[in-house]
Protein backbone atom coordinates (compact mmCIF):
# COMPACT_ATOMS: atom_id res chain seq x y z
CA UNK A 1 0.00 0.00 0.00
CA UNK A 2 1.36 3.39 -0.97
CA UNK A 3 2.16 5.54 2.04
CA UNK A 4 0.49 8.90 2.44
CA UNK A 5 1.27 10.92 5.55
CA UNK A 6 4.10 8.83 7.02
CA UNK A 7 7.65 9.96 6.32
CA UNK A 8 10.96 8.42 7.32
CA UNK A 9 10.38 9.34 10.96
CA UNK A 10 6.63 9.44 11.54
CA UNK A 11 4.60 12.48 10.50
CA UNK A 12 6.06 15.98 10.61
CA UNK A 13 5.25 19.44 9.28
CA UNK A 14 4.17 22.99 9.97
CA UNK A 15 1.59 23.44 12.73
CA UNK A 16 -1.82 24.23 11.25
CA UNK A 17 -0.91 22.85 7.82
CA UNK A 18 -2.21 19.39 6.93
CA UNK A 19 -1.48 16.89 8.34
CA UNK A 20 -0.26 18.71 11.47
CA UNK A 21 -3.74 19.90 12.47
CA UNK A 22 -6.01 19.13 15.45
CA UNK A 23 -8.64 17.58 13.18
CA UNK A 24 -6.13 15.20 11.61
CA UNK A 25 -4.67 14.23 15.00
CA UNK A 26 -8.16 13.42 16.28
CA UNK A 27 -8.64 11.03 13.34
CA UNK A 28 -5.10 9.71 13.74
CA UNK A 29 -5.71 8.88 17.40
CA UNK A 30 -8.93 7.06 16.46
CA UNK A 31 -7.15 5.14 13.69
CA UNK A 32 -4.33 4.06 16.00
CA UNK A 33 -6.83 2.93 18.61
CA UNK A 34 -8.70 0.84 16.03
CA UNK A 35 -5.55 -0.76 14.61
CA UNK A 36 -4.01 -1.67 17.96
CA UNK A 37 -7.28 -3.02 19.29
CA UNK A 38 -6.98 -5.60 16.50
CA UNK A 39 -3.20 -6.02 16.40
CA UNK A 40 -2.22 -6.06 20.07
CA UNK A 41 -5.00 -7.72 22.05
CA UNK A 42 -2.61 -9.16 24.62
CA UNK A 43 -0.63 -6.03 25.56
CA UNK A 44 -1.75 -4.76 28.96
CA UNK A 45 -5.38 -5.66 28.29
CA UNK A 46 -8.05 -3.79 30.16
CA UNK A 47 -11.46 -5.34 29.79
CA UNK A 48 -14.50 -3.12 29.31
CA UNK A 49 -17.98 -3.90 30.59
CA UNK A 50 -18.83 -5.72 27.37
CA UNK A 51 -15.79 -7.98 27.64
CA UNK A 52 -13.78 -6.34 24.84
CA UNK A 53 -10.01 -6.07 25.21
CA UNK A 54 -8.70 -2.50 25.19
CA UNK A 55 -5.15 -1.55 24.22
CA UNK A 56 -3.18 0.99 26.26
CA UNK A 57 -1.37 3.76 24.36
CA UNK A 58 1.18 6.09 25.99
CA UNK A 59 1.52 9.72 24.87
CA UNK A 60 4.51 11.94 25.60
CA UNK A 61 5.67 15.22 24.08
CA UNK A 62 8.42 17.80 23.95
CA UNK A 63 7.97 21.37 25.17
CA UNK A 64 6.64 23.24 22.12
CA UNK A 65 3.40 25.17 22.63
CA UNK A 66 1.36 23.14 20.14
CA UNK A 67 2.00 19.93 22.07
CA UNK A 68 -0.92 20.60 24.41
CA UNK A 69 -3.31 20.85 21.47
CA UNK A 70 -2.15 17.68 19.74
CA UNK A 71 -2.00 15.73 23.00
CA UNK A 72 -5.68 16.52 23.64
CA UNK A 73 -6.70 15.65 20.07
CA UNK A 74 -4.86 12.33 20.03
CA UNK A 75 -6.22 11.46 23.46
CA UNK A 76 -9.80 12.13 22.36
CA UNK A 77 -9.39 10.03 19.23
CA UNK A 78 -7.86 7.10 21.09
CA UNK A 79 -10.49 7.11 23.83
CA UNK A 80 -13.31 7.30 21.27
CA UNK A 81 -11.90 4.16 19.62
CA UNK A 82 -11.92 2.31 22.94
CA UNK A 83 -8.22 2.60 23.81
CA UNK A 84 -6.90 3.54 27.22
CA UNK A 85 -4.38 6.39 27.35
CA UNK A 86 -1.49 7.06 29.71
CA UNK A 87 -0.16 10.64 29.55
CA UNK A 88 3.55 11.12 30.27
CA UNK A 89 3.82 14.89 29.79
CA UNK A 90 7.15 16.34 28.61
CA UNK A 91 9.45 13.36 28.11
CA UNK A 92 12.40 12.59 25.81
CA UNK A 93 11.59 10.37 22.85
CA UNK A 94 13.73 7.48 24.17
CA UNK A 95 12.00 7.80 27.54
CA UNK A 96 8.66 7.28 25.84
CA UNK A 97 10.03 4.19 24.08
CA UNK A 98 11.29 2.83 27.41
CA UNK A 99 8.05 3.51 29.28
CA UNK A 100 5.96 2.02 26.46
CA UNK A 101 7.92 -1.19 26.91
CA UNK A 102 8.00 -1.32 30.70
CA UNK A 103 4.41 -0.18 31.27
CA UNK A 104 3.21 -2.83 28.81
CA UNK A 105 1.68 -0.40 26.35
CA UNK A 106 0.41 -1.53 22.97
CA UNK A 107 2.01 1.57 21.47
CA UNK A 108 3.75 4.82 22.37
CA UNK A 109 3.17 8.19 20.70
CA UNK A 110 5.72 11.02 20.67
CA UNK A 111 4.52 14.55 19.89
CA UNK A 112 7.68 16.27 18.71
CA UNK A 113 9.45 17.79 15.73
CA UNK A 114 12.84 16.91 17.23
CA UNK A 115 15.43 19.56 16.30
CA UNK A 116 13.00 21.71 14.26
CA UNK A 117 11.81 25.16 15.46
CA UNK A 118 8.72 25.54 17.62
CA UNK A 119 6.41 26.28 14.68
CA UNK A 120 6.79 22.71 13.47
CA UNK A 121 5.51 19.58 15.15
CA UNK A 122 5.17 15.90 14.44
CA UNK A 123 3.95 12.52 15.60
CA UNK A 124 6.24 9.50 16.01
CA UNK A 125 5.30 6.01 17.12
CA UNK A 126 6.69 3.03 19.00
CA UNK A 127 5.33 -0.48 19.19
CA UNK A 128 5.03 -2.59 22.35
CA UNK A 129 8.76 -3.39 22.29
CA UNK A 130 9.74 0.29 22.15
CA UNK A 131 10.79 -0.01 18.49
CA UNK A 132 9.57 2.05 15.56
CA UNK A 133 6.42 0.81 13.84
CA UNK A 134 6.73 -1.67 11.02
CA UNK A 135 5.77 -0.64 7.50
CA UNK A 136 2.81 -3.01 7.77
CA UNK A 137 1.42 -1.28 10.88
CA UNK A 138 1.91 2.14 9.28
CA UNK A 139 0.00 0.90 6.23
CA UNK A 140 -2.85 -0.31 8.45
CA UNK A 141 -3.05 3.08 10.16
CA UNK A 142 -3.09 4.76 6.74
CA UNK A 143 -5.98 2.49 5.73
CA UNK A 144 -7.91 3.27 8.93
CA UNK A 145 -7.46 6.99 8.27
CA UNK A 146 -9.51 6.55 5.11
CA UNK A 147 -12.42 5.00 6.97
CA UNK A 148 -15.38 6.88 8.41
CA UNK A 149 -14.70 7.77 12.04
CA UNK A 150 -17.21 6.48 14.58
CA UNK A 151 -17.35 6.39 18.37
CA UNK A 152 -17.57 3.41 20.65
CA UNK A 153 -20.60 3.23 22.96
CA UNK A 154 -20.09 4.79 26.37
CA UNK A 155 -19.50 1.48 28.12
CA UNK A 156 -16.65 0.66 25.68
CA UNK A 157 -14.83 4.03 25.72
CA UNK A 158 -11.24 4.16 26.89
CA UNK A 159 -9.94 5.96 29.95
CA UNK A 160 -7.13 8.49 30.27
CA UNK A 161 -4.74 8.87 33.21
CA UNK A 162 -1.40 10.49 33.91
CA UNK A 163 1.75 8.62 34.91
CA UNK A 164 2.93 10.65 37.91
CA UNK A 165 6.34 9.01 38.27
CA UNK A 166 7.32 8.99 34.59
CA UNK A 167 10.34 11.27 35.12
CA UNK A 168 11.66 9.26 38.06
CA UNK A 169 11.27 5.97 36.19
CA UNK A 170 13.24 7.23 33.22
CA UNK A 171 15.97 8.84 35.36
CA UNK A 172 16.56 5.51 37.09
CA UNK A 173 16.63 3.70 33.75
CA UNK A 174 19.32 6.04 32.41
CA UNK A 175 21.43 5.57 35.54
CA UNK A 176 21.03 1.81 35.37
CA UNK A 177 22.53 1.77 31.87
CA UNK A 178 25.98 2.16 33.44
CA UNK A 179 25.13 0.22 36.59
CA UNK A 180 27.49 0.99 39.47
CA UNK A 181 30.56 1.33 37.25
CA UNK A 182 30.44 5.09 36.62
CA UNK A 183 31.29 7.63 39.31
CA UNK A 184 31.22 11.25 38.14
CA UNK A 185 32.45 12.70 41.44
CA UNK A 186 34.86 15.56 40.82
CA UNK A 187 33.72 16.10 37.24
CA UNK A 188 32.10 19.35 36.15
CA UNK A 189 29.57 19.22 33.30
CA UNK A 190 27.70 21.93 31.43
CA UNK A 191 24.47 20.57 29.96
CA UNK A 192 22.44 22.27 27.24
CA UNK A 193 18.85 20.97 27.28
CA UNK A 194 17.74 22.88 24.15
CA UNK A 195 14.75 24.15 26.18
CA UNK A 196 13.31 20.77 25.28
CA UNK A 197 12.23 17.45 26.67
CA UNK A 198 15.37 16.76 28.74
CA UNK A 199 14.99 19.92 30.84
CA UNK A 200 13.69 18.17 33.95
CA UNK A 201 15.65 14.95 33.56
CA UNK A 202 19.25 15.42 32.39
CA UNK A 203 20.52 17.36 35.39
CA UNK A 204 19.05 14.76 37.76
CA UNK A 205 20.78 11.88 35.99
CA UNK A 206 24.26 13.39 35.99
CA UNK A 207 24.02 15.07 39.39
CA UNK A 208 22.80 11.88 41.06
CA UNK A 209 25.87 10.14 39.64
CA UNK A 210 28.13 12.64 41.41
CA UNK A 211 28.87 15.33 38.82
CA UNK A 212 28.74 19.05 39.42
CA UNK A 213 26.19 20.16 36.86
CA UNK A 214 25.49 23.54 35.31
CA UNK A 215 22.49 23.61 33.01
CA UNK A 216 21.73 26.07 30.24
CA UNK A 217 18.68 26.31 27.97
CA UNK A 218 16.60 24.48 30.56
CA UNK A 219 13.70 26.96 30.87
CA UNK A 220 11.21 26.07 28.15
CA UNK A 221 8.34 28.47 27.46
CA UNK A 222 6.76 26.73 24.48
CA UNK A 223 8.50 28.96 21.94
CA UNK A 224 12.24 28.67 22.64
CA UNK A 225 12.83 24.96 21.96
CA UNK A 226 16.02 24.56 19.85
CA UNK A 227 16.28 28.36 19.52
CA UNK A 228 19.99 29.21 19.39
CA UNK A 229 20.72 26.30 21.69
CA UNK A 230 20.94 22.52 21.82
CA UNK A 231 22.76 20.10 19.56
CA UNK A 232 22.05 22.13 16.40
CA UNK A 233 23.35 25.39 17.92
CA UNK A 234 26.12 24.45 20.39
CA UNK A 235 28.04 27.75 20.18
CA UNK A 236 26.87 29.02 23.59
CA UNK A 237 27.74 25.71 25.21
CA UNK A 238 31.20 25.70 23.62
CA UNK A 239 31.93 29.11 25.07
CA UNK A 240 30.46 28.25 28.47
CA UNK A 241 32.57 25.12 28.89
CA UNK A 242 35.74 27.16 28.51
CA UNK A 243 34.51 30.04 30.70
CA UNK A 244 33.49 27.75 33.56
CA UNK A 245 36.48 25.40 33.35
CA UNK A 246 34.19 22.42 32.83
CA UNK A 247 35.48 19.00 31.88
CA UNK A 248 32.77 18.30 29.32
CA UNK A 249 29.78 19.97 27.71
CA UNK A 250 26.73 17.97 26.61
CA UNK A 251 24.06 19.31 24.22
CA UNK A 252 20.78 17.56 23.51
CA UNK A 253 18.22 18.30 20.83
CA UNK A 254 14.59 19.20 21.51
CA UNK A 255 13.32 15.65 21.99
CA UNK A 256 16.41 14.15 23.59
CA UNK A 257 17.40 11.54 21.03
CA UNK A 258 20.46 13.39 19.67
CA UNK A 259 23.58 14.47 21.50
CA UNK A 260 26.78 16.32 20.68
CA UNK A 261 29.53 17.04 23.19
CA UNK A 262 32.18 19.68 23.83
CA UNK A 263 35.68 18.94 25.12
CA UNK A 264 37.47 20.93 27.82
CA UNK A 265 39.00 23.19 25.15
CA UNK A 266 35.60 24.19 23.80
CA UNK A 267 35.78 22.06 20.65
CA UNK A 268 32.74 20.30 19.27
CA UNK A 269 32.59 16.49 19.35
CA UNK A 270 29.95 15.20 16.94
CA UNK A 271 28.18 11.88 16.48
CA UNK A 272 31.00 10.35 14.43
CA UNK A 273 33.50 11.05 17.20
CA UNK A 274 31.08 9.97 19.93
CA UNK A 275 30.46 6.58 18.35
CA UNK A 276 34.22 6.15 17.83
CA UNK A 277 34.85 6.75 21.54
CA UNK A 278 32.18 4.24 22.53
CA UNK A 279 33.39 1.65 19.99
CA UNK A 280 37.01 1.93 21.14
CA UNK A 281 35.97 1.53 24.78
CA UNK A 282 33.90 -1.53 23.99
CA UNK A 283 36.71 -3.00 21.93
CA UNK A 284 39.06 -2.65 24.91
CA UNK A 285 36.45 -4.20 27.20
CA UNK A 286 35.68 -7.03 24.76
CA UNK A 287 32.01 -5.99 24.55
CA UNK A 288 31.81 -4.48 21.05
CA UNK A 289 30.08 -7.55 19.58
CA UNK A 290 30.42 -6.66 15.92
CA UNK A 291 31.17 -3.42 14.14
CA UNK A 292 29.71 0.07 13.74
CA UNK A 293 26.98 1.19 11.34
CA UNK A 294 27.13 4.77 10.10
CA UNK A 295 25.31 6.46 7.24
CA UNK A 296 26.15 7.91 3.86
CA UNK A 297 26.75 11.19 5.75
CA UNK A 298 29.31 9.70 8.17
CA UNK A 299 32.71 11.32 7.76
CA UNK A 300 35.36 9.35 5.91
CA UNK A 301 37.64 10.08 8.86
CA UNK A 302 35.47 7.86 11.08
CA UNK A 303 35.67 5.00 8.60
CA UNK A 304 39.46 5.27 8.36
CA UNK A 305 39.90 5.49 12.14
CA UNK A 306 37.78 2.39 12.75
CA UNK A 307 39.62 0.50 10.02
CA UNK A 308 42.92 1.45 11.66
CA UNK A 309 41.64 -0.18 14.85
CA UNK A 310 40.32 -3.25 12.95
CA UNK A 311 36.69 -2.37 13.73
CA UNK A 312 34.25 -3.16 10.93
CA UNK A 313 32.26 -0.26 9.50
CA UNK A 314 29.20 -0.23 7.25
CA UNK A 315 27.12 2.61 5.78
CA UNK A 316 23.31 2.66 5.80
CA UNK A 317 21.00 5.17 4.14
CA UNK A 318 20.50 8.42 6.05
CA UNK A 319 18.04 8.00 8.93
CA UNK A 320 18.19 6.11 12.20
CA UNK A 321 15.58 3.58 11.05
CA UNK A 322 17.99 2.44 8.32
CA UNK A 323 20.84 2.19 10.80
CA UNK A 324 18.56 0.10 13.01
CA UNK A 325 17.65 -2.20 10.12
CA UNK A 326 21.30 -2.79 9.25
CA UNK A 327 22.30 -3.37 12.88
CA UNK A 328 19.61 -6.01 13.24
CA UNK A 329 20.56 -7.62 9.94
CA UNK A 330 24.23 -7.84 11.00
CA UNK A 331 23.43 -8.61 14.65
CA UNK A 332 25.55 -5.63 15.70
CA UNK A 333 24.77 -3.20 18.54
CA UNK A 334 26.36 0.18 17.78
CA UNK A 335 25.45 2.75 15.15
CA UNK A 336 25.36 6.52 14.72
CA UNK A 337 24.60 9.53 12.57
CA UNK A 338 27.01 12.52 12.55
CA UNK A 339 24.19 14.66 13.96
CA UNK A 340 24.46 12.74 17.23
CA UNK A 341 21.77 10.10 16.91
CA UNK A 342 23.55 7.15 18.59
CA UNK A 343 22.12 3.63 18.77
CA UNK A 344 23.29 1.23 21.50
CA UNK A 345 20.91 -1.68 21.05
CA UNK A 346 22.29 -3.65 23.99
CA UNK A 347 21.09 -0.84 26.28
CA UNK A 348 17.90 0.53 24.70
CA UNK A 349 15.70 0.12 21.64
CA UNK A 350 16.16 3.56 20.08
CA UNK A 351 18.56 6.50 20.00
CA UNK A 352 18.99 7.90 23.52
CA UNK A 353 21.03 11.07 24.01
CA UNK A 354 21.47 10.76 27.78
CA UNK A 355 22.50 7.11 27.66
CA UNK A 356 24.93 7.85 24.82
CA UNK A 357 26.55 10.66 26.80
CA UNK A 358 26.89 8.34 29.79
CA UNK A 359 28.65 5.80 27.58
CA UNK A 360 31.22 8.43 26.57
CA UNK A 361 31.78 9.46 30.19
CA UNK A 362 32.22 5.79 31.08
CA UNK A 363 34.83 5.48 28.33
CA UNK A 364 36.64 8.56 29.67
CA UNK A 365 36.71 7.14 33.18
CA UNK A 366 37.85 3.72 32.01
CA UNK A 367 40.68 5.14 29.89
CA UNK A 368 41.47 7.87 32.43
CA UNK A 369 41.46 10.29 29.50
CA UNK A 370 39.91 13.64 28.72
CA UNK A 371 37.37 13.77 25.91
CA UNK A 372 39.77 15.38 23.42
CA UNK A 373 42.27 12.57 24.00
CA UNK A 374 39.57 9.95 23.62
CA UNK A 375 38.58 11.09 20.11
CA UNK A 376 42.05 12.03 18.88
CA UNK A 377 42.14 8.94 16.65
CA UNK A 378 39.54 10.46 14.32
CA UNK A 379 40.95 12.91 11.79
CA UNK A 380 37.88 14.50 10.24
CA UNK A 381 37.91 14.92 6.48
CA UNK A 382 36.71 18.41 5.43
CA UNK A 383 32.99 18.17 4.73
CA UNK A 384 30.54 20.86 3.72
CA UNK A 385 26.76 20.74 3.76
CA UNK A 386 24.53 23.15 1.83
CA UNK A 387 20.74 23.11 2.11
CA UNK A 388 18.49 24.28 -0.71
CA UNK A 389 14.95 25.17 0.35
CA UNK A 390 12.38 23.60 -1.97
CA UNK A 391 8.95 22.06 -1.63
CA UNK A 392 9.95 19.33 -4.10
CA UNK A 393 13.45 18.17 -3.07
CA UNK A 394 13.16 14.77 -4.74
CA UNK A 395 12.16 16.31 -8.08
CA UNK A 396 14.96 18.86 -7.87
CA UNK A 397 17.48 16.11 -7.08
CA UNK A 398 16.37 14.19 -10.17
CA UNK A 399 16.36 17.25 -12.46
CA UNK A 400 18.66 16.55 -15.47
CA UNK A 401 20.76 19.67 -14.88
CA UNK A 402 21.38 18.73 -11.23
CA UNK A 403 22.10 15.08 -12.03
CA UNK A 404 24.53 16.13 -14.76
CA UNK A 405 26.57 18.52 -12.62
CA UNK A 406 26.71 16.03 -9.74
CA UNK A 407 27.98 13.28 -12.04
CA UNK A 408 30.60 15.61 -13.53
CA UNK A 409 31.98 16.69 -10.16
CA UNK A 410 31.90 13.12 -8.81
CA UNK A 411 34.07 12.02 -11.73
CA UNK A 412 36.41 14.96 -11.17
CA UNK A 413 36.84 14.22 -7.45
CA UNK A 414 37.29 10.49 -7.99
CA UNK A 415 38.87 8.85 -4.94
CA UNK A 416 39.65 12.26 -3.42
CA UNK A 417 36.11 12.87 -2.18
CA UNK A 418 32.43 12.04 -2.04
CA UNK A 419 29.22 13.81 -3.10
CA UNK A 420 25.83 13.03 -1.60
CA UNK A 421 22.67 14.84 -2.73
CA UNK A 422 19.46 13.79 -1.00
CA UNK A 423 16.05 15.13 0.06
CA UNK A 424 15.64 15.74 3.78
CA UNK A 425 13.37 13.25 5.47
CA UNK A 426 12.07 15.84 7.93
CA UNK A 427 12.17 19.29 6.28
CA UNK A 428 11.46 20.83 2.81
CA UNK A 429 15.15 20.83 1.93
CA UNK A 430 17.53 19.33 -0.59
CA UNK A 431 20.76 18.51 1.26
CA UNK A 432 24.05 18.70 -0.64
CA UNK A 433 27.09 17.17 1.07
CA UNK A 434 30.57 17.24 -0.41
CA UNK A 435 33.59 15.69 1.29
CA UNK A 436 37.25 15.74 0.32
CA UNK A 437 40.79 16.54 1.32
CA UNK A 438 40.79 20.10 -0.14
CA UNK A 439 38.30 22.26 1.78
CA UNK A 440 38.21 25.11 -0.71
CA UNK A 441 37.60 22.68 -3.56
CA UNK A 442 34.67 20.93 -1.88
CA UNK A 443 33.07 24.23 -0.84
CA UNK A 444 33.21 25.38 -4.44
CA UNK A 445 31.71 22.11 -5.68
CA UNK A 446 28.87 22.29 -3.15
CA UNK A 447 28.04 25.87 -4.05
CA UNK A 448 27.94 25.14 -7.77
CA UNK A 449 25.63 22.17 -7.21
CA UNK A 450 23.46 24.37 -4.99
CA UNK A 451 23.20 27.00 -7.73
CA UNK A 452 22.05 24.34 -10.18
CA UNK A 453 19.56 23.01 -7.62
CA UNK A 454 18.10 26.47 -6.98
CA UNK A 455 17.63 27.02 -10.69
CA UNK A 456 15.98 23.61 -11.00
CA UNK A 457 13.72 24.43 -8.04
CA UNK A 458 12.62 27.56 -9.85
CA UNK A 459 11.77 25.49 -12.92
CA UNK A 460 9.78 22.86 -11.01
The residue-averaged pLDDT of 389-407 equals 95
CATH number of 16's domain = 3.40.120.10
Residue 335 and residue 397 share a domain: no
pLDDT at 417 over 90: no
60 and 159 in a single domain? The answer is: yes
Residues 127 and 240 in one domain: no
Predicted pLDDT at 2: 39
Taking the C-alpha atoms of residue 336 and residue 428, their distance in angstroms, rounded to an integer, is: 23
Domain membership flag for residue 369: yes
Residue 20 — very low, low, confident or very high, per pLDDT cuts 50/70/90?
Answer: very high
pLDDT at site 294: 98
Task: Please indicate, yes or no, if residue 170 is contained in any of the structural domains.
Answer: no
Instruction: Determine, yes or no, domain membership for 180.
Output: no
User: Greater confidence, 45 or 98?
Assistant: 98
Residues 436, 395 share a domain: yes
- Do residue 308 and residue 203 come from a single domain? no
Per-residue pLDDT tens over the stretch 242-301: 999 999 999 999 999 999 999 999 999 999 999 999 999 999 999 999 999 999 999 999
340 lies in the same domain as 227: no
58: pLDDT confidence band, cut at 50, 70 and 90?
very high
Residues 263 and 276 in one domain: no
Catalytic residue among 43, 66, 112, 114: 114
CA distance 446 to 387: 10
Here the CATH number for the domain that contains residue 394 is 3.30.310.50
Residues 65 and 141 in one domain: yes
432 pLDDT above the threshold of 60? yes
In a shared domain, residues 208 and 287: no
Domain shared by 208 and 321, yes or no: no
pLDDT at 319 over 90: no
pLDDT at 43 over 90: no
Domain end marker among 226, 241, 268: 268
Residue 89 placed within a domain: yes
Concerning whether 129 is annotated as a catalytic residue, the answer is no
* Domain end point (choices 268, 287, 313): 268
User: Same domain, yes or no, for 79 and 154?
Assistant: yes
Domain-embedded: residue 110: yes
pLDDT at 7: 80
Domain boundary residue, one of 236, 268, 300: 268
Q: How many domains, the chain?
A: 4
pLDDT for res 40: 53
Could you tell me if 375 and 413 lie in one domain? no
In a domain, 172, yes or no: no
| Domain with 210 in it | 186-268
Report yes or no on 444 lying in a domain.
yes
pLDDT-derived band at 3 (thresholds 50, 70, 90) equals: low
Q: What is the pLDDT of residues 163-201, one digit of tens each?
A: 999 999 999 999 999 977 899 999 999 999 999 999 999
- Give mean pLDDT, residues 219-235: 98
User: What secondary structure, in 3-state letters, does the chain show?
Assistant: CCCCCCECCEEEEECCCCCCCHHHHHHHHHHHHHHHHHHCCCCCCEECCCCCEECEEEEEECCCCCHHHHHHHHHHHHHHCCCEEEEEEECCHHHHHHHHHHCCCCEEEEECCCCCCCCEEEEEEEECCCCECCHHHHHHHHHHHCCCCCCCCHHHCCCEEECCCHHHHHHHHHHHCCCCCCCCCCCEEEEECCCCCCCCCHHHHHHHCCCEEEEECCCCCCCCCCCCCCCCCCHHHHHHHHHHCCCEEEEECCCCCCEEEECCCCCEECHHHHHHHHHHHHHHHCCCCCCEEEECCCCHHHHHHHHHCCCCEEEECCCHHHHHHHHHHHCCCEEECCCCCEEECCCCCCCCHHHHHHHHHHHHHHHCCCHHHHCCCCCCCCEEEEEEECCCHHHHHHCHHHHHHHHHHHHHHHHHEEEEEEECCCCCEEEEEEEECCHHHHHHHHHHHHHHHHHHHHHC
Q: Does the pLDDT value for residue 425 go beyond 80?
A: no
Mean pLDDT of the chain: 94
Q: Would residue 35 count as lying in a domain?
A: yes
CB 69 within 8 A of CB 123: no
Strand pairing category for 259-262 and 268-269 = antiparallel
Amino acid sequence: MTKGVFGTDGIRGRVGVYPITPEFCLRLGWSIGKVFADQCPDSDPQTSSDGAVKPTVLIGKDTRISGYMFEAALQAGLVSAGADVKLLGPMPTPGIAYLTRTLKGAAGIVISASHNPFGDNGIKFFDASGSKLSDDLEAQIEAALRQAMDCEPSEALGRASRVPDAVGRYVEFCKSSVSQSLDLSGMKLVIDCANGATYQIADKVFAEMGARVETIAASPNGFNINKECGSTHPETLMARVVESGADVGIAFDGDGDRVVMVDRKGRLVDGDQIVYAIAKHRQRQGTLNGGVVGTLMSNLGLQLALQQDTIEFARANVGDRYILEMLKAKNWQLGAEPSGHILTLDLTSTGDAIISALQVLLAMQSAQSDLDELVAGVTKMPQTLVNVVTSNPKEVMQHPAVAQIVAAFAAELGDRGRILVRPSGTEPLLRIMVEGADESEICGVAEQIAVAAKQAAGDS
